[in-house]
């Protein structure tokens, strides 16, 4: 999990900007609201520049990395397979939505990557294409509650996951149809009663 990507730095700058904005916004509100304590409060509250830089770095470290967001995609997409196998279509719909939102989140963290030859790979555009066709077909199969269509659409989606990994210079990240659910705690049985 390499951490030094332009996208991450961009996000760090954004978070840093937000932080500085909040800080000055806060100071201004304080100054406007209470002149009496303003001088003392500012002395106490305004951190030095090195402290600000450190704070920005700390915030940057708290933004999860792309691989982490992809591990969430793995989790949701794995469970999706078993929800559909169990004909639990509301649960399948839930995992479909989680898969989509975590893929979007992953490409927001690093929208553009460089391949091994230094060419720019626009992940956002690849994801858009994935959403338009394989992911949309999967949604239609879930809405139709059609297990056979679902299986075909799921496999098509797995190929699409893999296409993006190959485009990103990571051909060794080869997904497969899962053998076991990723969750232990969720009951896939749509007829399950509670408590068991």
Residues lying near ligand HEC in the complex (CB under 6 A) are found at 1, 65-67, 70-71, 73-74, 77, 99, 103, 107, 113, 123, 126-127, 130, 157, 161, 164-165, 168, 170, 173, 175
Task: Tell me how far apart the terminal alpha carbons of the chain are, to the nearest angstrom.
Answer: 41
Residue 52 or 112: which CB sits closer to ligand HEC? Answer: 112
In whole angstroms, the minimum distance from the beta carbon of 141 to ligand HEC comes to: 15
Classify each residue of 115-130 as buried b or exposed e, where b means 16 or more C-beta atoms within 10 Å of its C-beta: eeeeeebebeebbeeb
Residue 41 or 67: which CB sits closer to ligand HEC? Answer: 67
In whole angstroms, the minimum distance from the beta carbon of 80 to ligand HEC comes to: 9
CA distance linking residue 16 with residue 60, whole number of Å? 8
In whole angstroms, the minimum distance from the beta carbon of 62 to ligand HEC comes to: 17
In whole angstroms, the minimum distance from the beta carbon of 35 to ligand HEC comes to: 50
State the number of CA atoms in the 13 A half-sphere of 192 facing the CB: 13
The CA angle 165-163-123, to the nearest 5 degrees, is 65
The 10 Å Cβ neighbour count of residue 21 is 10
Radius of gyration of the chain (CA): 23
Residue 70 or 86: which CB sits closer to ligand HEC? Answer: 70
Closest CA to 83 of 158, 156, 151: 151
In whole angstroms, the minimum distance from the beta carbon of 47 to ligand HEC comes to: 32
In whole angstroms, the minimum distance from the beta carbon of 161 to ligand HEC comes to: 3
The 10 Å Cβ neighbour count of residue 32 is 9
Residue 16 or 111: which CB sits closer to ligand HEC? Answer: 111
Residue 16 or 102: which CB sits closer to ligand HEC? Answer: 102
Residue 77 or 89: which CB sits closer to ligand HEC? Answer: 77
CB 55 within 8 A of CB 19: yes
């Amino acid at each position: 999990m390499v951490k030094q990507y332009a996208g991450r730095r961009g996000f760090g700058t954004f978070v840093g900007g937000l932080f500085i904005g909040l800080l000055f916004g806060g100071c201004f509100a304080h100054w406007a609201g209470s002149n009496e304590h303003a001088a003392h409060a500012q002395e106490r509250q305004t951190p030095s520049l090195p402290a600000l830089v450190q704070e920005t770095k700390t915030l940057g470290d708290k933004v999860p990395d792309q691989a982490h967001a992809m591990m969430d995609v793995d989790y949701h997409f794995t469970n999706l397979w078993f929800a559909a196998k169990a004909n639990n279509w509301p649960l399948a719909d839930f995992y479909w939505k989680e898969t989509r939102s975590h893929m979007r989140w992953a490409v927001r963290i690093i929208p553009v990557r460089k391949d091994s030859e230094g060419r720019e790979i626009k992940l956002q555009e690849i994801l858009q294409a994935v959403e338009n066709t394989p992911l949309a077909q999967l949604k239609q199969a879930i809405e139709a509650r059609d297990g056979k269509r679902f299986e075909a659409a799921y496999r098509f989606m797995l190929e699409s996951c893999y296409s993006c990994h190959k485009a990103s210079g990571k051909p060794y990240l080869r997904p497969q149809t899962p053998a076991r659910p990723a969750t232990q705690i969720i009951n896939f049985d749509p007829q399950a009663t509670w408590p068991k």
